[in-house]
Amino acid sequence: MNFTKCHFDFANLPWLTSPRRQLDLKAVAIGLINLPPNQGYTFTHRHRKQEEVYIAIEGSGIIQVDDELLAIERGDAVRVSPQARRALKAGEKGLLVICAGGVAEGYPENPNSRYMIDDGIADYDDIPPWYQGNSDVVRRNRELKKRQEKNRAREAASD
């Protein structure tokens, strides 16, 4: 088949939607990011190989790239190098972003991966400025980090 079509209700998307399987993607990574008002990522992440472009479709907010905080609004596009730390936060009316990136040959490394490119490196200890000092976020990130470590140990044991 030469095409795949699907529909997304942007108003009712969860925080992060990966249309990889719905679109049968092979060489393009896309994430649909729908942040509620004044909510944002609780940690930064970077990639080993994937350059990403964040395109604001609706609303406004902030994108952190390394130590820079950039205001973004509908119509803005921001390219982020693979190794740069990044995080997003919505403004008062929320933020809908399409995140796109090229896919290097051989990805996803894990065929069962939710995402087209599975080279993301989450840093649960690197809390964006909008959540620094929030003990609930620190506690949640600590739990996410423990879960990540257990998954890595399980994967290593099965190899």
CA distance 97 to 118: 19
Per-residue pLDDT of the chain (159 residues; tens, 9 = 90+): 799 999 999 989 999 999 988 998 888 889 999 999 999 999 999 998 889 999 999 999 999 999 999 999 999 999 999 999 999 999 999 999 999 988 766 667 777 776 666 677 889 999 999 999 999 999 999 999 999 888 778 877 876
Residue 104's pLDDT is 67
Measuring CA to CA, how many Å separate 134 from each of 37, 39, 41, 128? 18, 13, 13, 11
Reported pTM: 0.87
Residue 142's pLDDT is 94
Domain boundaries, the chain: 10-158
Residue range 10-158 forms a domain whose CATH class is mainly beta
Question: Which region, left, alpha or beta, applies to residue 66 given φ > 0 means left and ψ of -120 to 50 means alpha?
Answer: left
Residue 117's pLDDT is 66
**pLDDT tens digits, residue range 103-133?**
766 667 777 776 666 677 889 999 999 999 9
Q: Nearest 5°: CA angle at 137, between 35 and 152?
A: 90
CA distance 26 to 139: 37
